[in-house]
Amino acid sequence: MPLTWFNWNDPPPDDCRGGAVAVGNFDGAHLGHARLIRHLREQGRPAVVLSFDPHPLQLLAPDRFQPLLTSPEDRAADLRVCGADRVLFLRTTPELLRLTPHEFFAQVLRDGLRPKALVEGFNFRFGHDRAGDNELLGELCRESGIAMALVPPFQLDAVPVSSSRVRKALLDGDVGEAMRLMGRHYRLHGIVGEGARRGRTLGFPTANLTDVQTLVPGDGVYAVRARFDGETWAGAANVGGNPTFGEQSRKIEIHLIDFVGDIYGRSMTVTFLHRLRETRPFSGADDLVTQLQRDVEQARHIGAEVPT
């Protein structure tokens, strides 16, 4: 299904009206979002998720903005897997961000999407300066004859699952914890670019992933799966510098196990399965090669054992 963007003062698609609506960023499409969408479907159909692109913080406070967990394409696909019938993206503009809570509710929701019900999480805020809260939303819904349901936080280990919690796990390199919070393995998209080609001289050629728009996990060596041209390969990825050779620049380098060929310039999706070890310097090329052999064998085994 193609992605749908629209402006706040334009009518949304007709097939998105008259159902149940949930509004939010939904970055990461984690288990908390999945629970909310299950409630959304119980309130009416179509079950419509309304998100924002770009993220409002990119306009309001670009110095505080961090890379997102998901591209709009991934977010929409993952939210549909969770049960959303439609995922819409409001184009985030200064004009949209200036709407008061009452204006946002009336123009975007009540008169735009014409929902029978709204479903939101416990910490939902809306309108200029995030001045609107669930108490105000409940009042506006009652005045407009719209049902409203609040979904309590979904918890794991007595702590709410949130995009911030997923982000911390990834920055710590704990891709296993991120998978537990999201219900799926974390993935990146990028373009294979030119690298130093040192891996080729060591017997472990790597694809240097560039033009990555979402959050990159913390430094380390990972077992991954890489997909391009409709095929999937097990791989070992190094995120970070190359301290053995004094390289500090942060890169994403993937060795594709048993692959032979030239893939420069191609689009690639990399799915992180398990963190094998930290990035560290070795005494020389021979010691590094010995460790790389261990890494590749571990990654081969994990790639064969972990379900797709």
What is the predicted pLDDT for the residue at 273?
98
Confidence (pLDDT) at 218: 97
* Residues carrying CATH 2.40.30.30, the chain: 185-305
CATH 3.40.50.620 residue ranges in the chain?
A: 4-160
Query: Which residues, 6 or more positions from 163, have their beta carbon under 8 angstroms from its beta carbon?
Result: 25, 27, 28, 30, 69
Superfamily of domain 185-305: Riboflavin kinase-like (2.40.30.30)
What are 207's two structure tokens?
A: 């694809």
The residues, ordered by sequence, that sit 6+ positions from 42 with a Cβ below 8 Å of its Cβ are none
Cα separation of 68 and 28, whole Å? 8
Instruction: Enter the tokens of residue 136.
Output: 């105000």
> Which residues of the chain, if any, have pLDDT below 50?
none
Pick from 292, 175, 289: which is nearest to 300 by CA?
Answer: 292
Q: What's the CA gap between 150 and 58, in Å, rounded?
A: 28
Write the CATH number of the domain with boundaries 4-160.
3.40.50.620
Measured in whole angstroms, the distance separating CA 218 from the mean position of its chain's CA atoms is 15
Continuous segment of H or E residues that includes residue 252? strand 247-256
Q: What is the pLDDT of residue 246?
A: 57
Q: Which residues contact 256 (CB under 8 A, 6 or more apart)?
A: 207, 226, 233, 234, 235
> How many CB atoms neighbour CB 114 within 10 A?
16
Residue type, 267: S
Identify the pLDDT of residue 159.
Answer: 96
Give the Cα separation of 242 and 239 in Å (integer): 9
The pTM (predicted TM-score) of the whole model is: 0.93
Nearest to 192, CA basis, from 221, 247, 229, 219: 229
| Contacts of residue 90, Cβ cutoff 8 Å, sequence gap at least 6 | 5, 6, 7, 8, 50, 51, 52, 53, 96, 108
Measured CA to CA in angstroms, residue 197 lies from 51, 190, 237, 244, 288 at distances of 41, 18, 15, 15, 15
pLDDT at position 196 is 58
